[in-house]
Amino acid sequence: LAYFADIDKLGPRDAVLHAAPLSHGSGLYGLPHFAAGAVNVIPESGHFEPQEIFDLLDHWQNTSFFAAPTMIVRLLSSAGARTPRHLKTLIYGGAPMYVADSLRAIDLFGPRLYQLYGQGEAPMTITGLPQELHSKNFVERLSTCGFARSGVEVKIFDDKEHELPAGEVGEIVTRSDCVMAGYWENPDATAKTLRGGWLHTGDLGSLDAAGFLTIKDRSKDMIISGGSNIYPREIEEVLLRHPAVAECSVVGRPHPEWGEEVVAFIVSTAQVSPEDLDLLCRENIARFKRPREYRFVDSLPKNHYGKVLKTELRAQLAYGLQQSPKR
């Protein structure tokens, strides 16, 4: 029902393409399509191949599909990238979608994107940014993940469970009929996560006066340097503005004096120096947030769903793996 209310109306002439694992968002969004008698399309390859996805979007009428942001970036970078003839809606979520990538996706796919924010404990149903706001006329909204879905409450709490006013950063909490009953045979974890009747997401964010939610970062990914909170996503958004930066990920490294310092892992497509990136950061963020080191790598470690594994990046720093030559 939340899908019909917030995302799309469906009928038997529609289709859903399962470009992502059925065990996650794609399988969940197969349900409203089943209910409407729509077609469910599974790629013959059994995995994500951009050319195959474009071919299927050209073949099946009124096709929607769910993708992680990294999958969208692969589509945009594909040699066969083109505006699909029959795309109805591209739903994305599961990881940060950077503004630079959102704008590229709007150029290719048009106003057919819907961003969602959810997690396993409230499957795909916390906030959403609808199709009409995926426009270059609303760039400031592209850095948010939209507003509360139908029948969903979203608030920001401090560490004492007090609601924070608009603009202040705290933990994102939610409650709705979509929230889980609890963790299987783990009452202690259930009590901790669902305390006070709210699902505590572990994500840090803020709500603006209009109710749009901006996620700053996972609480475990926040960097504390010299007593100041640094949100990696803010730095990543800036680094991705450089045309030679294809991907990046920012993590904290222990520092004996400051507690932590900022390190950026960079996947580049052309010649770029740390000095170039440092200048970009100095022009766009506070000096204390700038990375103290840029590590150039061939790829970022990801799980099967396309999420960057920052735990592995932090482990590389902890074990002192050598940096690749600066480009």
In the chain, the domains with their CATH numbers are 2-148 (3.40.50.12780), 153-218 (2.30.38.10), 222-318 (3.30.300.30)
- 122-129 and 113-119 as β-strands: parallel, antiparallel, unpaired? antiparallel
CB 111 within 8 A of CB 135: yes
Task: Using alpha carbons only, give the angle 198, 202, 208 rounded to the nearest 5 degrees.
Answer: 75
Whole-angstrom Cα distance, residue 147 to residue 211?
A: 6
Whole-angstrom Cα distance, residue 244 to residue 186?
A: 46
Q: Looking at residue 223, what DSSP letter applies? A: E
- 228-230 and 223-225 as β-strands: parallel, antiparallel, unpaired? antiparallel
Q: In angstroms, what CA-CA distances link 72 with 42, 76, 98, 200? A: 18, 6, 11, 29
Q: What is the pLDDT of residue 52?
A: 97
Q: What is the pLDDT of residue 307?
A: 81
CB 308 within 8 A of CB 249: yes
Q: In angstroms, what CA-CA distances link 303 with 27, 68, 309? A: 18, 11, 7
- Dump the DSSP string for 251-317: EEEEETTTEEEEEEEEEESS---HHHHHHHHHHHS-GGGS-SEEEE-S---B-TTS-B-HHHHHHHH
The SS3 call for residue 175 is strand
- Dump the DSSP string for 133-146: G-SGGGHHHHTS--
For 11, counting Cβ atoms within 10 Å of its Cβ (0-12 exposed, 13-18 middle, 19+ buried), the class is exposed
pLDDT of the chain, 327 residues: tens digit per residue: 788 989 999 999 999 999 888 888 888 889 999 999 999 999 999 889 999 999 999 999 999 999 988 889 899 999 999 999 999 999 998 877 889 899 999 999 999 999 999 988 998 889 999 999 999 999 999 999 999 999 999 999 999 999 999 999 999 999 999 999 999 999 999 999 999 999 999 999 999 999 999 998 777 888 988 878 898 999 999 999 999 999 999 999 988 888 899 999 999 999 999 999 999 999 999 999 999 999 999 999 988 777 889 999 999 888 765 444 343
Strand order in the sheet with 245-255: 245-255, 259-268, 293-296
CB 232 within 8 A of CB 96: no
CB 174 within 8 A of CB 143: no
Q: At a CB cut-off of 8 Å and minimum separation 6, what does 284 contact?
A: 238, 241
Whole-angstrom Cα distance, residue 187 to residue 257?
A: 40
Instruction: Name the H helices within the chain.
Output: 2-6, 25-35, 50-59, 69-77, 99-109, 139-142, 187-193, 232-239, 274-284, 310-318
Can you state the angle between helices 69-77 and 99-109, rounded to 10 degrees?
A: 60
Structure tokens, 83: 């505006």
